[in-house]
Amino acid sequence: MTKITGNNTVSVNDKQYIFEVLAGSARSYLWDQMQIWEDMFLDAIAQERDIIGLDQGPAEMMERYYSLSQTDRRRLELDEDRLLAVLLYNLIAFMVMMRVSKDEIRRKVRRMLGRCHIGLSMSQQVNELIDNIANLNGNDIDLRPATSRLLQKQSFTVHWGTDSSGDMLF
């Protein structure tokens, strides 16, 4: 049994990845526009920050940041760096899938990496990927899970008094 899609005949047993259809013979020039990739990156950042609760206004964020202890500040900075690095890493993977010029990928990603001010520990993953980009094609790059997918919901019980024998508060 075969299925015909456009000019292609595909066997039902054959795997066909969605990026192969998107980047097929009628590949759009949209993918070569570097501004669209930057816009996608910024939109993804906004969405992730909204999901994980970092979507406050700048004044509120700075007020919250300065009220944190030094350890909590460092943790918050690392969380933000991790979010940016994962999204940039995945953006590179999508760009490679869509057969964007490797030189353009390097140029754009290095520019965005500089603008993001990602710390050294997190930017190392992105830099290693950029250094090896010449050897990567199609879906060779495994996507990293977004920060919002790794959230672990926690619940706590609060009791009146100094131990757990007091009334539970909600």
pLDDT tens figures, 115-158: 988 988 889 999 999 999 999 998 899 999 876 666 555 566 67
Report residue 87's pLDDT band, with 50, 70 and 90 as the boundaries. very high
**pLDDT digit string (tens) for 53-72?**
766 677 887 888 888 899 98
Q: With a cut of 80, say whether residue 13 has pLDDT above it.
A: no
Structure-token pair, residue 156: 């706590």
Asked if residue 87 lies in contact with residue 16, where contact means CB atoms within 8 angstroms, the answer is no
Question: Within 10 Å of residue 118's Cβ, how many Cβ atoms?
Answer: 22
Dist. CA 104–CA 110, nearest whole Å: 10
Distance CA 159, CA 36 (A): 52
Share of the chain above pLDDT 70, in %: 80
d(CA 86, CA 170): 36
Q: Radius of gyration of the chain from Cα atoms?
A: 22
